[in-house]
Structure 1
Amino acid sequence: MATHLPTLRQLRYLVALAEHRHFGRAAEECFATQSTLSAGLQELESLLGATLVERTKRKVLMTPLGEEVVTRARDLLRAAEDIADLARAGGKPLSMRLRLGVIPTIAPFLLPRALARLRTLYPDLKLALREDLTARLLDRLASGELDAAVLALPYEASEMEMVALATDPFVLVCPPGHPLAARDAVTGGDLAEAELLLLEEGHCLRDHALAACSLPAPKRGEGVLGTSLGTLVQMVASGMGVTLLPMLAVDAGILAGTGLVTRPLAMGGSRRLGLAWRKSSARKDEFRLLGNVLFGR
């Protein structure tokens, strides 16, 4: 006798309910009526012979077994989406939907030219972009909300496959009258004595810049922090200190009109730029091609 298995629709209903903890919002996400979603979940519980959802008048809770089933259901749904995407491509690369995450210290400086190249070479590609910090992009990548992400490396994420595609050197940025502006190259000792302006915690560029110069991270609450590279530039222009910027941003014109100058780092510090995707994805070759196009390789 054949074993009856859960359907992808039933699993999608369960995952949506676990995320929203509300039958109405879960049904809306699944393009189903609330009664249809509720009936589908009851069928799933009957099929498995176990309770997955605790239903009360005030809130929705997952049972311990329900939480475990949700975790495995997410993996199954991601795999099913990868299979469908692979079939829809029909052997033609970069010809369908692709949800790409990009960190904010890369997106505005890389994408304008890169997207023009993509449109020219792969006009059938339907690209959806999301800009966010690395940790949140990787969470979305793991949950299947994104297909790939453009990141600065290194970054620890054992469940992801990552490929480095470019090197992005750091340079010192300072006003032309600053003492460091007279240096041919700036050392770590110079930076340790300077009023170094950094991005706030959560931006991987902050950690990469400090590591590149062998500088310790400031203690929580110490130092002046910026929310974006553009903010850092304006802070330096107003005489608040100096900063480290990736050459990608400088080449894209972030210093235009400020009068600020750059100086190379004697230690040659840099970050690596690349692409990440789930190790389980069936679109690895396509992502590698995407990365090469984005970085002009």
Structure 2
Amino acid sequence: MVTLVQLEYVIAVDTYRHFATAAEKCFVTQPTLSMQLKKLEEELGIIIFDRSKQPVIPTDIGKAVIKQARSVLSEVRKLHDTIDFFQQKISGELKIGIIPTLAPYLLPRFIGDFVKTYPDLKVHIKELLTEEIVEYLHKDLIDVGILVTPLHEDGIIAKPMFYEGIQVYPHPEHRFANQSQVNMAEIADPEIWLLNEGHCFRNQVLNLCSYLNLQQHSLPIEYASGSLDTLIKLVDKEGGFTLLPELAVEDLPINKRVQVKTFIDSFPLREVSLVYARSFVKEKLIGILEQAIQQSIPEPMLSANRGTLVEWQ
């Protein structure tokens, strides 16, 4: 008879593509995990994983079994969540993925009060790029992501929460510093500092200023950062300018916040959403997380009507 434990082991091996790592994540020895998977394969009369490959990969029929195993385990979780819902319990685990351009500015606003309000809920948070959050959601490695949408991803549901303005942060001696506002066309300039590839905010900036056509960089260093804070420090030290989302601007000290410029002809926005897989059933948790985040955000940022949404894909 197929057991839920065996299905959990199948999912773990598919997720990590390594028997030792899967066993470690399941808190069992590798021989125990391997034995249970062998018993499952004998019960079904198939081979689920091709063990001759490194990393191990599922066979064609194994892929179908893995898909069904994920569905079965999702329904089991739904059973427990249904019981918790009727018992009005907020407990268990909530695994959150959040993009790096949001994490340092958003998490401190709400996470402390959130965990104090729900002490029986164990919250795990991991900083991930957008594509990693999508992958983790599909593999059930996280429950929910906090990222920038629209996402246009099959099987993923997005709940928009708030809208950050995109603003200009120039060096005090840059020409933008003496302007009350910046014309949108002016930011298509080789003196702009950018995030690394893989960051959705980088793509939004590229979409905003059509920077893709610029090949030359007039700054003394050719560098792409993985951190908004690093970009701010580079601007302060080396000159030029960068673009910042609104929560990062709110986090600046007052003497630096006065350097920030808005645009003359537009107020570009990025949409921040909670995202989760269609199979995720902890709707009550999603609701309380959404409420906690929105209560921590300045009220004007809750409206999409104050500007123009900039897509990043």
TM-score, normalised by the number of residues in structure 1: 0.86
- Contact 2:11 2:66 (8 Å CA) reproduced: yes
Q: Which amino acid aligns with 1:200?
A: N
Distance 1:24 1:191 in 2: 50
More deviation in 181-190 or 119-128? 119-128
- 2:299 aligned residue: none
TM-score, normalised by the number of residues in structure 2: 0.82
CA RMSD of aligned residues (A): 2.8
Q: Deviations over 1:42-98 (max 9, x none)?
A: 332222222324456998554321233223323332343343344345543643311
* Compared CA separation, residues 57 and 127, structure 1 to 2 (3 A): closer
Q: Deviations over 1:211-264 (max 9, x none)?
A: 3x35243579976422210110011101331111011011122x5665871111
Q: Deviations over 1:85-122 (max 9, x none)?
A: 44345543643311111111111111112113313433
In the alignment, does 2:176 pair up with 1:180?
yes
Distance 1:73 1:123 in 2: 31
Distance 2:273 2:177 in 1: 31
Question: Aligned ranges for residues 181-220 of structure 1 at < 5 Å?
Answer: 181-193=177-189, 195-211=191-207, 213-217=208-212
Distance 1:41 1:52 in 2: 8
In the alignment, does 2:235 pair up with 1:240?
no
Distance 2:176 2:23 in 1: 60
Q: Displacement, 1:40?
A: 2.0
Q: Which amino acid aligns with 1:129?
A: I
Q: Unmatched 5+ residue regions in structure 1?
A: none
Q: Displacement, 1:129?
A: 0.6
Decide which of 80, 91, 95 is 1:84's aligned counterpart: 80
Identity of aligned residues (%): 31
Distance 1:152 1:54 in 2: 37
Question: Aligned ranges for residues 4-153 of structure 1 at < 5 Å?
Answer: 6-55=2-51, 62-88=58-84, 91-92=87-88, 94-153=90-149
* Compared CA separation, residues 182 and 78, structure 1 to 2 (3 A): same
Q: Which amino acid aligns with 1:273?
A: V
Distance 1:94 1:105 in 2: 29
- Contact 1:149 1:275 (8 Å CA) reproduced: yes
Report the number of matched residues. 291
Distance 2:140 2:14 in 1: 15
- Contact 1:194 1:242 (8 Å CA) reproduced: no
Q: Displacement, 1:189?
A: 1.6
Decide which of 262, 277, 288 is 1:264's aligned counterpart: 262
- 1:288 aligned residue: 287
* Compared CA separation, residues 68 and 118, structure 1 to 2 (3 A): same
* Compared CA separation, residues 47 and 293, structure 1 to 2 (3 A): same
Distance 1:161 1:220 in 2: 37
Q: Displacement, 1:36?
A: 3.2
* Compared CA separation, residues 227 and 218, structure 1 to 2 (3 A): farther
- Contact 2:171 2:239 (8 Å CA) reproduced: no
Q: Deviations over 1:190-227 (max 9, x none)?
A: 1124611111110001112333x352435799764222
SS at match of 2:158: strand
- Contact 2:167 2:260 (8 Å CA) reproduced: yes
Q: Unmatched 5+ residue regions in structure 2?
A: 297-313
SS at match of 1:77: helix
